[in-house]
Structure 1
């Protein structure tokens, strides 16, 4: 080149931009949230050049973006040396995922035998004003036949607005079937005192679904035979049957009424002779039970008095006393008192009448001696009465004698024609007025003695028809008029001497 004269002409070197690609990174978010887009990548940088920022944008980055995929666009990269690059941008993808939505069936209750209307639910997770308009709820316990217990309520098929943006899950609820109210009432019952009650009656309210009661235990303190008249509680318990476990059973008491038993008290029939008082004591009883007893009955009859004329009279019974009689309805039946006409008395009977007249308080235990009526006594017919303490005695004392007898004034001596006599005599007169007095005069007894007794009418027993004097003679020692007479026949029923005899 030494042989040349070299001249130089300039040429041009063109440095072309290098290719730089910036790619937006893919991103995801949940429905209802916003996306913060910051990711990108680059390829082509040399010489230590760098990118400090890239603008990223996506239509799905907002909270309202529905579930789906959205482009992420990159642009506006800044950094160092980037003018040396021909920059191209590649999109990324933003994925909007469904939000979680939980729908929970609400708990519910119902009563056995009814149906459940299941409508309740709750939700969590709705956003953006989305809503649920309906949820399908179901339970095997919702029907009327479902037994008492707990049942699952399932939820499904929710509908509403914006629900496609959710991943819906369902939570079960609980349906509780409570017992139905069942009331069993013991039926009222009655029985008669002295009998037992068979308690079987009851009623119920509240049974459903064809359930039934087959038996109920019924009890009452008044059911036994010894229960007194009154009202007693009947308690019900222990019901058995079909389906009763589905009930809350309450028991209502009934009333057992123990009614009085029928008790009949019948006055006993009696008979007596006119002129005699009669003590009424006989009666019959039917219907007593449980060891109850009648210890006394008030008996009365207008024919019981000595003055009652012959005929038939009713005997009325009343005022029964005894044990347990408050348990009876007492029916009193009338008896019959037959009053017969007076009849002639025998000598021995008349002797007893005279003794009762002269010595109303004499004891029949006194020694007996032989006695006879003197004066030719033939018959006795006229009645007279004597009042004793607290009751009435009747004795017949009129007589027909062979010779007329004489009566002295009260307290005087008496003699009788046809009667044997001795040096000593005694006589007595008894006055009949209520509260009256009796006096007697007696001679000193010696040998045989003649006695006469005169009775006049006294109130409180019957009407006196006459007063008669009788002569009585006997042999024997001292000892009073009674000791001079011997009782030779049974006492006359209904007289005081009869009572003393007994």
Structure 2
């Protein structure tokens, strides 16, 4: 017997069967029979493909990354399979920090000589976003800025508080000071969640140092008529 579907290279053929053609039977005693040959049918089913989603990460507030995958199951020397559609994920730009955001099969499909029979999921991990810090204080000759003098913002105008810690300026002077570093800063929830942000590698914003108040008080004095005006003094 012979069939065009009898080779390992035979494709699925769009679901159509291959004809099995019998003939030229051999064996002892066949001369005693009138042989009728009836064609048969061979069906080639798709070979199974396993897809494995690739784990990924994204920063809080950013768009979900492109979802990629690898696959196994190619046979017969094939270099690739014909995929369509794509994976999906539960992660969005508003997803909180964490690693429980699933990447799953979605609309991903394969056609031709293969069938997608197994999709191994993976997760997207959302990592904390950086903060922007501005500072304001009254001049006090110190480079330290207390928590109460800090304004901390995140993405989309979210604000955060401070549990403890502070910041350090490059110098204490009005008009020239800039933020230099943080001092054990611990964030608190505001309109945004503190857990969605990190104090590592912040963006330093503006610094406003207001002049400290200074009172000059003239010292009372006296003089004899006709004498020179005495030296004038004051206290601060």
TM-score bin (small chain): 0.5 to 0.7
Other-structure match for 1:98: 46
Q: State yes or no: 1:58 paired with 2:11.
A: no
Other-structure match for 1:316: 231
Match for residue 158 of structure 1 among 104, 108, 115: 108
Residues of 2 paired with 1:315 and 1:59: CA distance? 125
Q: Quick one: structure 1 residues 198 and 119, their matched pair in 2 at CA, closer, same or farther if it must change by over 3 Å?
A: closer
Residues of 1 paired with 2:167 and 2:217: CA distance? 29
Contact 1:111 1:180 in 2 (8 A): yes
Residues of 1 paired with 2:21 and 2:147: CA distance? 95
Other-structure match for 2:55: 107
Other-structure match for 1:31: none
Match for residue 246 of structure 1 among 196, 202, 205: 196
Aligned pairs, how many? 212
Other-structure match for 1:168: 117
TM-superposed deviation, 1:161: 4.5
Residues of 1 paired with 2:106 and 2:212: CA distance? 68
Contact 2:53 2:70 in 1 (8 A): yes
TM-superposed deviation, 1:149: 1.4
Q: State yes or no: 1:269 paired with 2:218.
A: no
**Which residues in structure 2 correspond to 1:117-156 (within 5 Å)?**
118-126=66-74, 131-141=81-91, 143-150=92-99, 151-156=101-106
Contact 2:131 2:198 in 1 (8 A): yes
Other-structure match for 2:159: 212
TM-superposed deviation, 1:118: 3.8
Deviations, residues 85-141 of structure 1 (Å, cap 9, x unaligned): 336356666442320112333333322112215442333335667743422322211
TM-superposed deviation, 1:154: 1.0
TM-superposed deviation, 1:72: 3.6
Which structure has the larger Rg over C-alpha atoms?
1
SS of equivalent to 1:245: helix
Instruction: Indicate the structure whose relative CO is greater, using CA pairs within 8 Å and at least 6 residues apart.
Output: 2
Q: Quick one: structure 1 residues 212 and 65, their matched pair in 2 at CA, closer, same or farther if it must change by over 3 Å?
A: same
Normalization by structure 2: what TM-score?
0.65
Residues of 1 paired with 2:103 and 2:116: CA distance? 21
Contact 1:118 1:137 in 2 (8 A): no
Structure 1 residues without counterparts, runs of 5 or longer: 1-55, 222-229, 272-309, 319-330, 333-502
Structure 2 residues without counterparts, runs of 5 or longer: none
Deviations, residues 440-462 of structure 1 (Å, cap 9, x unaligned): xxxxxxxxxxxxxxxxxxxxxxx
Other-structure match for 1:86: 33
Residues of 2 paired with 1:119 and 1:220: CA distance? 39
Residues of 2 paired with 1:59 and 1:104: CA distance? 34
Aligned-CA RMSD value: 4.2
Contact 1:147 1:246 in 2 (8 A): yes
Normalization by structure 1: what TM-score?
0.35
